[in-house]
Structure 1
Amino acid sequence: MEKEVAPIMAKYWEKAEFPFQIIPKLGALHVAGGTIKGYGCPGLSVTGTAVATAELARVDASCSTFILVHSSLAMLTIALCGSEEQKHKYLPSLAQLKTVACWALTEPNYGSDASALETKATKVDGGWILEGQKRWIGNSTFADVLVIFARNTSTNQINGFIVKKDSPGLTVTKMLNKIGLRIVQNGDIVMKKVFVPDGDRLPGVNSFQDTNKVLAVSRVMVAWQPIGISMGVYDMCHRYLKERRQFGAPLAAFQINQQKLVQMLGNIQAMFLVGWRLCKLYESGRMTVGHASLGKSWITVKARDTVALGRELLGGNGILADFLVAKAFCDLEPIYTYEGTYDINTLVTGREVTGIASFKPAGRSRL
């Protein structure tokens, strides 16, 4: 990552373009597929996959997100919910990044309330017809394989489908003007009578609850992205403070700068330990939805504080993408929001600890 990605990422971030030439090099790292065993996948532990996620994010958050969407969402859905035929057909190529996947759940009208999705799947002879829209779908503008969730018009339950790029009726448009993760190619997907053969319906997705098997792992991985981003910002600030001089001394010599640097380091240690604990809970089969939500929300909010301190330490240079701290500062904002916003993850945890769900708005006030 430091050799191949670090030298070029600011240029591609500024242009909001993806450096396709690095895909084979990312494939050679053999981390795509993460925890999946067999089918050419690495079969790493959850902890091993999490640390790899952090190390990718330490250099570039967008590359980390590219792998996370491809691996911990799309590939994992096929691995957990697909047939043996589907696993053998798709996973080996995806594991080598010879093909790229995306994962489409979010819609224009449904983000946090994803279970209310409106995309429809209607059974026809030999397959299914998909109609609807998806939004904010990373990798979608160039993905070879799209894992798409839709509501079965007969059962009213959520089903999953593998859709090939260039399928008739499928249109993907790049979203513009993002302030963070600009290298990630998020797309708006429109499906008009897209036919999916029976062989590409995921047999293990028969309700929205089936998506939670995937989200449980991916939320752990997303929690490790802010850890990696914060480590990268600390590294840059530590180096900058020792090299940059003001008032005849390196910036590292000033007490207030040392205090901020130490606060950043303390935050990172705490974030790392929460992420580590989350991995061990998952590996022992004891992790709950509340654990994952608390870990993701707390780590991202602590990372926000940490990266903001780093931006302060660089002064004016802290708002230039060339110095990378500003880029990391912006890249953290989408991560604070996706895979459940801070607020939604907090409420998920609150539901678990109180037994009371507070997702629905309160009734009309007498006032």
Structure 2
Amino acid sequence: MNYSVFIKDFEATLQHLFHEQGATNSLNVKRGVPSELMGGIMSKAPLSVSIPEEYGGRGCVVKECLGVLAAASYQSLPLSLIFGINIALFLEPVAKYADEAVKKGIFDHFLYNRNMGGLMITEPDYGSDALNMKTSYRQYDGGYRIKGTKHWQGLTGLADYWLIACRKEIGEGELSRDIDFFICDVSQDNQQVVVEEYYDNLGLYMIPYGLNKLDLQVPPAMRLQPETTGIKMMLDILHRSRMQFPGMGMGFIHRMLDEAVAHCESRVVGGGRLLAMDQVQFQVSRIQTAYTICSAMCARSSGVSGIAHNLASESLEANSMKAVVTDLMQESAQILVQLSGANGYRVSHIGGRGIIDSRPFQIFEGSNEMLYTQIADTVIRLMKKQKQAHLFDFLKSLKLTSEACMHFQTELSFTVNEALTQRKLVDLGKILGRVVSVGYVLGLLEKGFREDLVGNCIVSVKQEVSALVSSYKFDNRVKVVPDFSENSSWLQCV
């Protein structure tokens, strides 16, 4: 089936299921997904976009994957995240790294039995510190024995397959520094994952999260085969996933924009439409800027993040896409709620739900503060290597930012100190992420995207960058006062 026909049919199915059958309201406070709803969604084989053609899928084309994520997130951000987990964190890694002997059986189960899969990395004591995870494995005659504890895995207790990250036992309680990944099929003997607790996650009610106990035995063919090291394989998987966040952001931001425009055009205040007010124009234009940036990210990702590419070294782009687009998602939802007044505070309102559902996107797969710090560290290392201390001059020489930085010459004309505090690294990372994003927007303009949207976007981002540069240059070394309770009661001062 032609992709345009496929995606239009999928969008129409979602529109029917979420609106004509009233599924949206039924999911406001209930956890999980009704089986009849998921059955209707999966009947259109949305996950086929991430399965190679030789196994009956649509071919792992990034454009198609992002299109499915965007179609889903327009109606339901949690649904899009379910697809994102399956696509970027299970099916694409299997397509790229799994043993050929196991691929067909797994892909058949996804195509014909509507199976789902997820990824286990995070542990209770080791969240972002994945390299020190304690889940371990040892080899024996029949395969591998895996033991450990994982938590906050999306689709806990629901996934049929898991990719499990762990470290090899090398004796005397020591574990290898490298990381390996194994496929677990929970339908098989000795591969059941024990869910010890389901978490009461705030928002994203469709998706179960929890604490998982592992004591598994998997056959040799279920081990992923890295191109070089397991750590680089993990970076390739995570960077590819981060580069596909714009797909989940696209439909969501589009929905926030449609809802904001529709409300502000129909709402009359003081004899005039809400949209006629200058401050409202500014707020809605911020969502429109997010829409433009996210569109550009999707276009960029479509060309560079396929499984044919190794993304282990592409942290600057991957981290910029993930951090910036998730900030834009949260901001867009906040603006819609503000514009909607009291109605935005209803559980049934798309904006109110959007605030809660988009907030964890700024946290999982690397908190945005951590990613902005890594962005700044990456650029500072490159500047040091080139013996360049002036930010604008360096960005002018970097292919990723050479064109975009010309729009920020005044703002970016300063010298970067190598010894920055973490709070300054976060500020600098935010600045760099937005300059990189404008580069994507300019690339989209060259492909025929609307010039007026691009022009507005650049002005909006320039204002934001100007504020971030001011924050970066401001000397703030405030520290927390530990024993703040003493002599700090206002009642004693009145």
Structure 2: tracts of 5 or more residues without a match = 1-13, 383-417, 423-478, 480-494
- Uncovered stretches (5+) of structure 1, i.e. residues with no partner: 362-366
Once the two structures are superposed, residues 240-277 of structure 1 have per-residue CA deviations (whole angstroms, 9 ceiling, x without a partner) of: 23344444554344443333223321231123223322
- TM-score by structure 2 length? 0.67
Q: Residue 291 of structure 2: SS of its match in structure 1? A: helix
1:262 to 1:97, Cα distance in 2 relative to 1, 3 A: farther
Paired residues for 1:1-367 under 5 Å: 1-6=14-19, 7-38=22-53, 39-96=55-112, 98-154=114-170, 156=176, 157-165=178-186, 167-168=189-190, 170-173=193-196, 175-191=198-214, 193-204=215-226, 207-282=230-305, 288-355=314-381
CA offset at residue 11 of structure 1? 2.3
Structure 1 distance, partners of 2:28, 2:196, is 19
Residue 364 of structure 1 corresponds to which residue in structure 2? none
The 2-side partners of 1:329 and 1:231 are apart by: 15
Cα 1:202–1:271 shift into 2, 3 Å = closer
Distance 1:35 1:98 in 2: 13
Given that residues 275 and 295 in structure 1 are in contact (C-alpha distance below 8 angstroms), is that contact kept between their aligned partners in structure 2? Answer: no
Q: CA deviation at 1:322?
A: 1.0
Q: Give the letter for the 1:19 counterpart.
A: P
Given that 1:278 and 1:291 are in contact with CA atoms closer than 8 Å, whether structure 2 keeps it comes out as no
CA-CA distance at 1:343 after TM superposition? 1.6
Shift of 1:20: 2.7
Structure 1 residues 44, 150: closer, same or farther in 2, change over 3 A? closer
Shift of the alpha carbon at 1:188? 1.5
Aligned Cα root-mean-square deviation (Å):
2.8
Flag the structure with more relative contact order, 1 or 2, with Cα contacts below 8 A and sequence separation at least 6.
1
Stretch deviating more after TM superposition (260-269 or 241-250): 241-250
TM score, norm. by length of structure 1? 0.88
Native 8 Å contact 2:23 2:37 kept in 1: no
Task: Give the conservation status (yes or no) of the 8 Å contact 1:33–1:76.
Answer: no
**How far does residue 61 in structure 1 lie from its aligned partner after superposition?**
0.7
**8 Å contact from structure 1 (residues 278, 292) kept in 2:** no
Greater strand fraction, Structure 1 or Structure 2: 1
| More helix per residue | 2
Question: Which amino acid counterpart does residue 196 of structure 1 have in structure 2?
Answer: V
Report the Cα distance in structure 2 between the residues aligned to 1:214 and 1:92, rounded to whole angstroms.
22
Structure 1 residue identity aligned to 2:325: I
Q: For 1:343, give the aligned amino acid.
A: E
Amino acid aligned to 2:231: F
Q: Given the superposition, is the C-alpha separation of residues 318 and 300 from structure 1 closer, same or farther in structure 2, using an over 3 Å criterion?
A: same
Q: Is the 8 A contact 1:126 1:198 kept in 2?
A: yes
Distance apart, 1:97 and its partner CA: 5.5
Q: Which moved more, 1:142-151 or 1:197-206?
A: 197-206
Code of the residue aligned with 2:183 in structure 1: it is I
Any idea what the Cα deviations from partners look like across 1:210-255, whole Å, max 9, x if unmatched? 1222223211112332232111111122222334444455434444
Distance 2:304 2:117 in 1: 28
Q: 1: distance between equivalents of 2:236 and 2:82?
A: 20
Asked if the contact 2:236–2:310 (Cα under 8 Å) also holds between the matched residues in 1, the reply is no
Give the total of aligned pairs: 361
CA distance in 2, matches of 1:195, 1:306: 46
Describe the shift of the 1:353–1:255 C-alpha distance in structure 2 as closer, same or farther (beyond 3 A).
closer
**Cα distance in structure 1, aligned partners of 2:109 and 2:56:** 8
CA-to-partner distance for each residue in 1:318-363, whole Å, 9 max, x for gaps? 11121211001111111111222112222332232222899x99xx
**Between Structure 1 and Structure 2, whose CA radius of gyration is higher?**
2
